[in-house]
Structure 1
Amino acid sequence: MNIATFEELLVAAALQPEPQRLLLAFAVAEPEPDLPPGAPARNTLVPVMCVDKQVGELDTFANLAEEAKAMGQAWDVLLITTLSGKQGRLPDPQQTDAALNKMLGAIQQGQMDRFLAFDRSGELMSYA
């Protein structure tokens, strides 16, 4: 399935044979530090909030963005991946925490290929 919207992601996750947790990391774009003189300016993503949600806890990007806004933390990009359960059960809290920590580490190292990224308006982003 080709995913082009947040809602399509929710449908794809709901259709998986095993239950899914969505791992969400909200990040801000900051100028990349320590660029050599004369190098073009680039941004790096810095995670500022993360959460896991069951597929059924989410319905629209707008509602998720409102929930994030209520937390009072500015963000520019939402990065998402999934964590599959086993034998009809969702991943346990320890597995979820470990996966979230791994996700945050990957973002900090610029390893973004495993994540879908959405801007603040809910548009799917591509990596350059």
Structure 2
Amino acid sequence: MNIATFEELLIAASVQPQQQRLLLTFAVAEPEPDGAPGPQARSTLVPVMCVDKQVAELDTFANLADEARRMGQDWDVLLVTTLSGTASQLPDNEQTDAALRKMIKAIRHGQLERLLAFDRSGDLLHYA
């Protein structure tokens, strides 16, 4: 399945044979410290909020974005990955917390290959 929107990710996650927990990290784009100014400027993603959600807890990107807005923290990009459980059980809290810490570390090191990124409208972003 090709995923182009957040809602398509929810559909894909809901039809997996193993239960899925979504790991969500909201990040702001900050200019690289040694980067050149202007239109060629590069950004670094800095995590500002993270949460895990069961697929059933999410229905639309708009509702998730509204929940994030109520937290009062600005963000530019939503980075997402999944954590698989078993057919009958979601990953436990310890597994989930460890996976979130690993995800945040990967973002801080610019290792985004295993993450999907969505803009503030819920559309998939492509890495350059």
What's the TM-score, normalizing by structure 2? 0.94
Residues 18, 86 of structure 2: 8 Å contact kept? yes
* 1:36 to 1:51, Cα distance in 2 relative to 1, 3 A: same
Cα separation, 1, equivalents of 2:87 and 2:42: 44
Q: What residue is the counterpart of 2:56 in the other structure? A: 56
Q: For residue 30 of structure 1, what is the amino acid of its counterpart?
A: E
Q: What residue is the counterpart of 1:102 in the other structure? A: 102
The size of the alignment, in residue pairs, is 126
Residue correspondence of structure 1 range 15-94 to structure 2 within 5 A: 15-35=15-35, 40-94=40-94
Cα separation, 1, equivalents of 2:50 and 2:90: 18
Q: Extract structure 1 runs of 4+ deviating beyond 2 A.
A: 34-37
Task: Tell me the alpha carbon deviations over residues 66-124 of structure 1, each in whole angstroms, 9 at most, x when there is no partner.
Answer: 00000000000000000000241000000000000000000000011111101111111
User: Which runs of 5 or more structure 2 residues have no equivalent in the other structure?
Assistant: none
Q: For residue 41 of structure 1, what is the amino acid of its counterpart?
A: A
Q: For residue 86 of structure 2, what is the amino acid of its counterpart?
A: K
Q: For residue 35 of structure 1, report the CA deviation from its aligned partner.
A: 3.8
User: Which runs of 5 or more structure 1 residues have no equivalent in the other structure?
Assistant: none
Q: For residue 90 of structure 1, what is the amino acid of its counterpart?
A: L
Q: For residue 51 of structure 2, what is the amino acid of its counterpart?
A: V
Cα separation, 1, equivalents of 2:99 and 2:17: 20
Moved more, 72-81 or 116-125: 116-125
Q: Percent identity?
A: 74
Cα separation, 2, equivalents of 1:12 and 1:35: 37
Q: What SS does the aligned partner of 2:50 have?
A: strand
Please report the RMSD computed on the Cα atoms of aligned residues, expressed in angstroms: 1.4
Cα separation, 2, equivalents of 1:35 and 1:69: 29
Q: For residue 34 of structure 1, report the CA deviation from its aligned partner.
A: 2.9
* 1:63 to 1:36, Cα distance in 2 relative to 1, 3 A: closer
